[in-house]
Amino acid sequence: MKAIFSTRFMAAVVALLAIVVVAAGCGSDDGGDSGSSSNGDPQAEIRALIEESFAFEDPKAICEENLTEAALEEGYEGKDREARVKACSEDEPVIPDRVEISKVEVKGDTAIASAEAFQPNGRSSKFTIELLNEDGWKINGNE
C-alpha cells in the first residue's frame, strides 16, 4: 500500500478507497457496466462516499459504514469487527484541505477512482481507490 498520510486511519481510509484495481481491470469512465445503486448513478454515489470519507466528520460511521470488512482487517488489528472499528475510529487523521476525484470507472460491482488529496502544507498526493458494491458502495483499499 502506498501511504499518502501519516496516520493509520488515513492509510486505512485510502486503502479502503483501492485493492480492487487489479481485480477490476479496465472499466468505463462514462457509466460502463454499473453495479446496483440506490439512485441509479454509481459514479455520483462513489464520489459522494469518497468526499464524505475524507471529510472525517464522523470517524466511527466512516469506519463502520464506508469500509469493507477486508479493508478493516487489513488496516486494523482486532479480534472482532467491533475492535477493528474502535481502533479505526480512534485514529487521528491528517485531514486534507480538499480531495479532487478525477475519474471513476465502474465495472459491475467493482469500481476504481483516481483522486488527489491536497494537504494543509501545500503538498498533494495522487492515489487510486478501490471500491466494492456490498449493499452500497464501500471503500476496499488503495495502491
Q: What is the pLDDT of residues 2-23, one digit of tens each?
A: 333 334 555 555 444 432 222 2
Answer yes or no: is 2 within a domain.
Answer: no
Count of domains for the chain: 1
Confidence tier at 44 by pLDDT (50, 70, 90): very high
Task: Output the pLDDT for position 13.
Answer: 53
Cβ pair 45, 134 in contact under 8 A:
no
Cell of 51: 468526499
Q: How many helices (H) and strands (E) does the chain have?
A: 6, 4
Instruction: Tell me if residue 114 falls in helix, strand or coil.
Output: strand
Task: Output the pLDDT for position 12.
Answer: 53
Answer yes or no: is 44 within a domain.
Answer: yes
- R_g (Cα) of the chain, nearest Å: 14
Answer yes or no: is 1 within a domain.
Answer: no
> Which pairs with CB-CB distance under 8 Å and at least 24 residues apart come from 61-67?
62/13, 62/88, 62/89, 63/12, 63/88, 63/89, 64/89, 65/138, 66/13, 66/16, 66/138, 66/139, 67/12, 67/13, 67/16, 67/138, 67/139, 67/140
Answer yes or no: is 3 within a domain.
Answer: no
- As a whole number of angstroms, the distance between CA 120 and CA 133 comes to 32
Residue 47 has pLDDT above 60, yes or no: yes
Answer yes or no: is 99 within a domain.
Answer: yes
Question: Which residue would you say has higher pLDDT here, 138 or 135?
Answer: 138
Task: Output the pLDDT for position 76.
Answer: 84
Answer yes or no: is 78 within a domain.
Answer: yes
Answer yes or no: is 87 within a domain.
Answer: yes
Half-sphere exposure of 68 (CA within 13 A, CB side): 26
Task: Output the pLDDT for position 133.
Answer: 95
Answer yes or no: is 30 within a domain.
Answer: yes
pLDDT (tens digit, 9 = 90+) per residue, 79-131? 788 998 888 888 877 778 889 999 999 999 999 999 998 988 889 989 999 99
Task: Output the pLDDT for position 18.
Answer: 31
Q: Domain containing 135: what range?
A: 8-142
Residue 27 belongs to domain with CATH number: 3.10.450
